[in-house]
Amino acid sequence: MPLHFESCTFGYGRRGRPVLSELDVSFASGHTVLLGPNGAGKSTLLALGASACAPRDGAVRLGRLRPVGRRALRSYRRKVSWLPQQPRFLSGMTCREHIAYVGWLKGMSEREAWRAVPRAIERVGLAEKARDKVGTLSGGQRQRLAIAQALVHDAQLLLLDEPTVGLDPLQRRRFLNLLHELRGSVSVIVSTHDITDLDQVFDEVVVVESGALRFQGTVARFESLAEADCPPGRRLESAYAGLLEAGEL
Ligand SMILES: Nc1ncnc2c1ncn2[C@@H]1O[C@H](COP(=O)(O)OP(=O)(O)OP(=O)(O)O)[C@@H](O)[C@H]1O
């Protein structure tokens, strides 16, 4: 389901300087990777997309649905799942309780939520920790729990903010496989600084810088920005550096 930001202006606090100014960007259905330097506005964009905050001006739309008004907000949030950069947990709950709880918060019945737990937990390879307390998990295991929560209620759009931070190489690979598996059934927008093997998982690249759109296009078009003599394994990195360095001139 496409996510549209229409002339969105947003700043933190009432008088805070705008982080995004009249930003227009549409994320098509499919898998999109969101790139940009530190402080570019990626997390802010995802938080707006998740309806965790509202633009000062302009509109956010998921398909035709705007998250404005109680009913619309509720149905919007059922369709969108957001994994923030620093997810919070109730550490006294077990993993399975936590996932069921999040499903329930998202509007599932208690029964539905409990039924959805095994599949969500299995998908992130955390089954053996299902009955362990969240407080006993390692950082990477917590990250996987957060991804399981984002998957529990069968959202149509997942907004994942730096989901691979803290994952070991095997779990990172698993995560990319999971994204691959989700192709065709759910749209995904992933904000990341980790640009190796993007081409295997994503359809489109969006780059923001200082709250403005810097690039939008297919992974192949992004890769074509790389220096001509760049070795194949470094092309994405070269394209990214070239794009941002060009803006510094
Ligand atoms: N809660 C907040 N209060 C005030 N300013 C904030 C807040 N969160 C972010 N900002 C500011 O908004 C701007 C964009 O931040 P944001 O976190 O969206 O960037 P980002 O692209 O996700 O960065 P990073 O890659 O470092 O995570 C930055 O200038 C940041 O200082």
Q: Whose CA is nearest to atom 9 of ligand 1?
A: 44
Helix (H) / strand (E) element for 245: namely helix 235-248
The share of the chain scoring above pLDDT 70, in percent, equals 99
Q: Is 19 in the pocket of ligand 1 (CB under 6 A)?
A: yes
Q: Which residue has the tokens 């070269």?
A: 238
- DSSP letters for 201-234: T-SEEEEEETTEEEEEEEHHHHHTTS-TT--GGG
pLDDT classification of 8: cutoffs 50, 70, 90: very high
Confidence (pTM): 0.91
Across the beta sheet with 3-11, the strand order is 18-27, 3-11, 57-62
Burial (CB count <10 Å: 0-12, 13-18, 19+), residue 126: buried
Output the six-digit token pair for 52: 């965790």
Output the six-digit token pair for 47: 């938080």
Cα of 40 to ligand 1 centre, how many Å?
7
Which atom number of ligand 1 is nearest to the Cα of residue 44?
Answer: 18
Cα of 34 to ligand 1 centre, how many Å?
14
Integer Rg of the chain from CA: 18
* 249: pLDDT strictly greater than 60: no
Condensed to tens digits (0 to 9), the pLDDT of residues 88-119 reads 899 899 999 999 999 998 888 999 999 999 99
Helix (H) / strand (E) element for 24: namely strand 18-27
Q: Tell me the average pLDDT of the chain.
A: 91
Cα of 188 to ligand 1 centre, how many Å?
21
Cα distance between residue 230 and residue 237, in whole Å: 10
3-state secondary structure of 144: helix
Amino acid at site 142: R
Q: Where are the alpha helices (DSSP H) in the chain?
A: 42-49, 70-79, 95-105, 110-123, 139-151, 169-182, 219-223, 235-248
3-state secondary structure of 117: helix
Amino acid at site 188: V
Of 8, 12, 162, best ligand 1 pocket probe by most atoms within 8 Å of the beta carbon: 12
Q: Is 41 in the pocket of ligand 1 (CB under 6 A)?
A: yes
Cα of 74 to ligand 1 centre, how many Å?
26
* 188: pLDDT strictly greater than 90: yes
Q: Is 39 in the pocket of ligand 1 (CB under 6 A)?
A: yes
